[in-house]
Structure 1
């Protein structure tokens, strides 16, 4: 499909630079068979049914953005995906100033060797020393806010908490599963009281999620692989919930993409561990999920293509036009939509 079909105009003042406080005070736009209505995330329990199961991503964002030098050249690196105990694939700013084998000094006794330049322009960084790379990143790295926020304000101490979900447990993501940022312990308690269950899986979100689609046609775009895991007990819970007539609702596109990667043609989710590069566009037949809670996405992005596949492209253009007109806040720190096809 032509990528232009997924374009729309978003006024810059609709981009949220901070999350709602408290988190579940964010607005919620609901799209279902009854039409469209406005609510708040804290009212989510009233919009779901007993027996429904929400699926969250329990990945934890690491401080994956680094600033360093190779001689006089300033080098910026955003880690993308772990490739070994001391090696990370990274998107590098000013990469033309680097040759394979060059040493980058990131300060605070953190250094890495650049190697293995890939066709997409990314480089592998081999971190030096004996300390775990996680400790090096805690010392020298900062939270990797999305470009549309980082370009408008600096990362600060608030982001260390704001850009983690309450489910964050397994370090490895370089972008947050932002739909889950809206959840609080109080909201989870209200959902439980209403008979709505919760389950978790792990998908370590990569920096590729921020990359624009540069191809003119969706068939020419290639997704970056991300590592994920669904354990056997979780797969059993998902299948049992649907067998009882409940709906499986992914919280975030990351959860949805992993669920669909792990699902067979029979609609049953299998245990999964490994990489997925699934790219969902209109025409895709959803097997694992019955709905999605997600934030509002970039024009021409793979994520707007995904929600268009779930709900219909024209309907999502109408939904986003309503959200823009009504002052909804967009992107990672913005408001949410509940999509129930």
Structure 2
């Protein structure tokens, strides 16, 4: 081999090794999909959030309200509510885009709020005044706890699965369920759960916990007020007269600086400054607004306008509506699926 060919060979080999190293070290980027329920069409839409194109529609039960995806983004779980009378969670294969088996939640009725934490599905059971937990690995309900409150509805579970927050609509309260690990004489550790009930206002439904975990904001549909609760002390620190009559859902922006509140009655989107607890803006987005989903990078928000049969897209920088997405009639529950 001539010296020129030797140099050429070494250069090509070096390039090949560099490309191979880059290929080995590159981590696959997760694919984020938007999941959106149509309550009237009884479908779960899978949407590309970048193009706003509906990729698939999958049939679900007769009254779907909320949806959540597993951590790996392979499955979705849909609560079939029926005003507190039904007893089913639909399991959806997001890769094959087809329904799987249904979970019978009895003796817990009216599954509504739903979360996926530590490999398990947590849900409120409005008709049974309780919170339950389903283990996909065993295919069984493995835990439940009663709240004793009327219409235990929305749900938030901390990442360690040790604290559960829920709103009780007709009782006008927020429940905080807390787990403490104790070791009895037999040496087998177990969890002991306790409940703190915090009075707020009747019609309290939509709520969220701030990204730093320090505050809980809950909106009440009947008097339009917003209760601000200190999570550590479990006490209400402020009651904002927001005049958000018909308030349905509430969500913090990813940076924790703003709070969005939707009104199913007026169609207003109320935007509050989280620090000053003052209203920043009201945006008319339709006849009625419900489910809210934030893009994790803080660029946009999706708001389900149920009576209008579309989802409004909100720019989080300008706080203006930039587009609409149609996933079916009476859209409501929204969630992300991160497929790795």
Q: Do the structures match in fold with TM over 0.5? A: no
Give the number of the structure with larger relative contact order, counting CA–CA contacts within 8 Å between residues 6 or more apart.
Answer: 1
Structure whose residues are more often strand by fraction: 2
Question: TM-score normalised to the size of structure 2?
Answer: 0.27
Question: TM-score normalised to the size of structure 1?
Answer: 0.27
Of the two, which has the highest radius of gyration? 2
Structure whose residues are more often helix by fraction: 1
